A and B are shown apart, each in its own frame.
Chain A
Amino acid sequence: MCHTGAHKINNTIGQILLAERLGKTRIIAETGAGQHGVATATVCALRGIECIVYMGEVDIKRQAPNVARMKMLGAEVRPAKSGSRTLKDATNEAIRDWIDNPIDTHYIIGSVVGPHPYPDMVARFQAIISKEIRMQLKEQTGQEIPDHIIACVGGGSNAAGALYHFLNEDDVNFILVEAAGKGIDTDHSAATSVLGTHGVIHGSMTLLMQDEDGQIIEPYSISAGLDYPGIGPLHAHLIKTGRAEVHSATDAEALKAAFELTRTEGIIPALETAHAFAILNERKFENDDVVVINLSGRGDKDLATYISHLDRY
């Protein structure tokens, strides 16, 4: 498990070096779960650079521990008050800030989304995940490649990182898990690949949740990090070409999986990550399959949510 609690630090370390190389003196970021915000605040503290993190008002409430962490690291957390007041709206505000401050500011995007070259760049920084998977897999199983890789998808950065060095290995099956929210046939979901259609969001041409006029539909998930109406263009491509298999897990299925993982392995996962584990209850594997599941983050930030559901699990 990475320092700061999720995979997000892989990307922010790369991007802060880039920002310094570009001579930038001010960093902005958007965050949903707060993990990317914490990872950005951490590298800014390390390099002594001013840091402003945009976060939806709703997420500021449901991910309070991460708001506290960011403040402790010296970052300013600015609430995004438009739309559903979640990740999409924080991203809008960050982009507007960047339009206002193009000279001194670098925008550290937290996932494989946004305009080129972000999806490509963030995937490359996260590719360390699959590099390490390859090494550890060889050590532990003697196999070069796994049969399956499972990862949750918000924008898709932990998934992109976990798949990256296996993209040309046709024998590796990719399993992506989106947040179904209250269910894909309710109005409260973030399962973009099922509910989305071809369009443009935040400078990417990809799948996104929209109505027939191209107005973006507000997504919903219990997990702030998966609550995004789009999906990285790499994943849209993998799904559309049939290269990746895609599933979704509801709020309830993710909660159940989080409690199961906690009680069987002693690992409290992030709510985002719990969605990836949820499909272990649904999809069947062969007994000798080597399955890699990406544990993208830990669940300290989600304790309040978990505790409020304690009586049910």
Chain B
Amino acid sequence: MTNNKINRVFEDKNHKVLNIYFTAGYPNLNDTGTIIKKLASAKVDIIELGIPYSDPLADGLTIQESSQKALSNGISLSMVFDQVEEIKNDHKTAIVMMGYYNQFLQYGIDKLIKRIGDSGVDGLIIPDLPMDHYQTHYNSKFEEAGIAISFLITPETSDERIKEADRLTSGFLYVVAQSSITGGVKDVSDQQKKYFERIQNMSLKSPKLIGFGIHNKETFDNACQYAEGAIIGSAFIRNLKEHGTDRVNDFVDKIVNC
């Protein structure tokens, strides 16, 4: 596996990794590049670019609505690649694309791999791509192309499956903090703590990022006790919805500084 930007993010063991998710083409069609540059200059470590889908099964209302808006703005996967490629020399931040399997399947996997390379995207998250299917059809292609794939685990995932996800992951292991769709905020319970500790003690090879329900400094810091870092999505989308691209810096500052 080539050492892409995602892998490099995890080399500094003392630094907690902040991954920010946002929906491409939202709030306006051509905001994608602007937001990437702002997040990059705010020293976000990984930018997770959501590819809007008509039927985003793993997503709560906030991301559903942003996806709908972006689609009616006219966004498409090929346009997102154009937007990312256009600014690829303006920043050095790792970019991971998050989308649903059918979008990538229709785009064509070989074309996908080529455009990922050309546009400077580093990795993929495909929540509805079954691991065995990935292993059979894509693992060797993605490895050869140096694409960092990240699989998700949840509190209900068996140890055996967690090990499998860890083995196939070449980016980071996406530790879903609670059994919920995105944007859900359940209580930080003892059970959740036990789950994080169980994962911590499994001596997995992949770096871990905790996501789902992380929405402010407190929840970010808490998650970081158990992993290399954490992922914020819906809370950032709400910020975009309210303030457009104006307060990107403030949002990030409130999480990592102060």
Contacts and interface: CB of A to CB of B under 8 A. Distances in A.
B101 interface: yes
A96 B62 CA distance: 14
B128 A92 contact: no
Nearest to A202: B57
Contact of A203 (B106, B128, B154, B180): B128
15 contacts: A83-B54, A92-B57, A95-B57, A100-B179, A103-B179, A199-B106, A200-B102, A213-B106, A213-B107, A214-B102, A214-B103, A214-B104, A215-B71, A215-B103, A216-B102
Contact of B54 (A95, A103, A216): A216
Greatest chain A CB density within 10 A among B57, B71, B78, B128 is at B57
A214 B105 contact: yes
A243 B15 CA distance: 60
A102 B102 contact: no
B66 to A, nearest CB: 13
A136 interface: no
Contacts of A215: 53-54, 71, 103
Interface of A: 82-83, 88, 92, 95-96, 99-103, 199-203, 208, 210, 212-216
Contacts, number: 63
B255 interface: no
Given A99-B181, A216-B55, 7 more contacts: A88-B55, A99-B180, A102-B156, A200-B100, A214-B102, A214-B107, A215-B53
Interface in B136-152: none
Nearest to B75: A213
Contact of B179 (A99, A203, A213, A216): A99
Contacts of A199: 102, 105-106
Given A82-B64, A200-B102, A201-B102, A101 B179 contact: yes
B102 A210 contact: yes
A216 B103 CA distance: 10
A199 B102 CA distance: 6
Interface in B167-193: 179-181, 184
B77 interface: yes
A201 B71 CA distance: 18
